[in-house]
Structure 1
């Protein structure tokens, strides 16, 4: 088989493997191998083909890493409603003592604290953060 065919087969194998990993990094290396196949079709020698594959693959990987798809978004799990179903729920607090209270929530007693901008008055509050067994609430 010609060099360009070998490069395309290798790229196809990487694309198939990429389907199992769920990342785009193997796809970027496969793009480098397709570039090497084009270099082989252009008649360049094998060391040049390998260099083209490496340069294009690394460049594509770096570009992916710097794009919005390559960045991991780090969110605070204590404030993320996708992680904790309690975020955004309402509770009723009857009395406050120095910005703290205890309430019955989901069948258990919880410590409750006010978030910095909330006012301590009896009534309904919205859970904005969960820190262990402590609910951080804001006025609703």
Structure 2
């Protein structure tokens, strides 16, 4: 009984103390500089442009990327890759990544096309550095994102 009264008294005391305080809001963001505003506007413009990419372009992109990845993985599995071919494939995948930037990030309909290009390049880095885990992890991500890109391009 004494414990219950003590706990109840403590709760009442704390409740009174909480009600007595004012809510203070601290603005940690501050106002954006003109440079930050320009960057934000440029990002929004790129997102809008990404939404306007025709589905046929996204489909053509993912078909070319899939062909490149399949060809390279087939050659790597067969042991036909030398250091020059490995480097050339890495360069080709880097070009795909640059091309994929036009698909935008996150909430655009072809964002998975960009993610697929990134994961294809990351999986290839697993080949370059002989990192089996990186190869497997990013290749499985690549396959899922490639499928999502194809689905989005088919709609």
**TM-score of the pair, normalised by structure 1:** 0.29
Higher relative contact order, chain-length normalized (CA < 8 Å, sep 6+) = 2
Q: Relative to total residues, which structure has the larger strand share, 1 or 2? A: 1
Looking at CA atoms only, which structure, 1 or 2, has the larger radius of gyration?
Answer: 1
